Amino acid sequence: MKKIFLKRIIPNANDISRRNAIKGVALAGLAVAVSPAVALTQAVTENTTMQQSGDPLIDPCTRFPNDQPTQKQDWPGLQSKMIPKPDCGETSYRGSGRLAGRKALITGGDSGIGRAVAIAFAREGADIAINYLPEEEADAQEVADIIRHEGRKAVTIPGDIRIEDFCRNLVARTESELGGLDILVSNAGYGWFLPDILEHSSEQFDQTVKTNLYAAFWLSKAVIAIMKPGSSIVFTSSVTAFSPSEDFLDYSATKAALVAFTSALAKQVAKRGIRVNGVAPGPIWTPMQVYFGAPDSNVENLNKSTPLGRMGHPVEMAPLYVTLADETSSFITGSTWSADGGRL
């Protein structure tokens, strides 16, 4: 199994400082005479200009806070209720047309990493279909609004990827409504804090495996049947694939299996001209951190678990997915890229 530890992303990987993000929001608010889409576009353009004129360097250790207050939600959790809300690039990600004309399906696209990828893809010029659970509708509609403000098509498809028929229908509907499908981001995942194997039920294990592994298999079968050469698949694995957590036995196992699946599938479909890669995030501030049953001290422990002294935010993951989906990365396949704040 291959691991790539990415220390630096290419220059147009699209991050800006908080100062510019705040300016962008202010500019959008001042544009009362134009539509939200136009206002947002103007704000992003202004941010681009200011960044190019020379901003100070950003210290990765202090870019985001590491003092999130204790909070709990029922599964699957809503990003809109988190304090602070994860930064998914709503005001900070700038695009440069790297995915212009592409058609993408993103599972778990309502919140967290999936949301950040959807926003980034839209600002890179792609039309997007996002999948999520019905309970996450409020978050999903926020993402769809952002995509549409960028002038891209947004399709929202709620449903449970633990069901094989739904996975097939999800792909078919995406292709139909977007007029094609050339990027799959199989991102939705599930995990639960259980420090003792005797506490694991078959039902719990089954939910983890079906969400994290079976869905990847079913979705891959469906998309590969229709994808053209030049298409790409990106899976979301985890740092636990390489450094398994005793408290996430089944989750760690599925994420490790997904790394092997990524490598093997890439070899199998290379002759079709389809690339397959993965991203292995470390601890990221997403709804999973407030629903998965860990003790209150877990958030503090996760912040301390990285050399940077904090968890990551979804916006910091998005450039990896853009790069792996971009056709300029045409010689990259079968790899899983680590982005864990230096944890491994």
First-to-last C-alpha distance (Å) of the chain = 15
Count CB-CB contacts under 10 A for residue 165.
Answer: 9
Residue 299 main-chain phi, psi, to 5 deg: -60, -45
Nearest to 158 by CA among 206, 112, 114, 110: 110
Residue 67 main-chain phi, psi, to 5 deg: -130, 45
Q: Which amino acid is at 4?
A: I
Residue 281 main-chain phi, psi, to 5 deg: -70, 155
**Is 190 annotated in the active site?**
no
CB 101 within 8 A of CB 124: no
Distance between CA atoms of residues 3 and 64, nearest Å: 26
- Active-site residue, selected from the candidate residues 93, 132, 190, 251: 251
* Residues involved in catalysis: 251
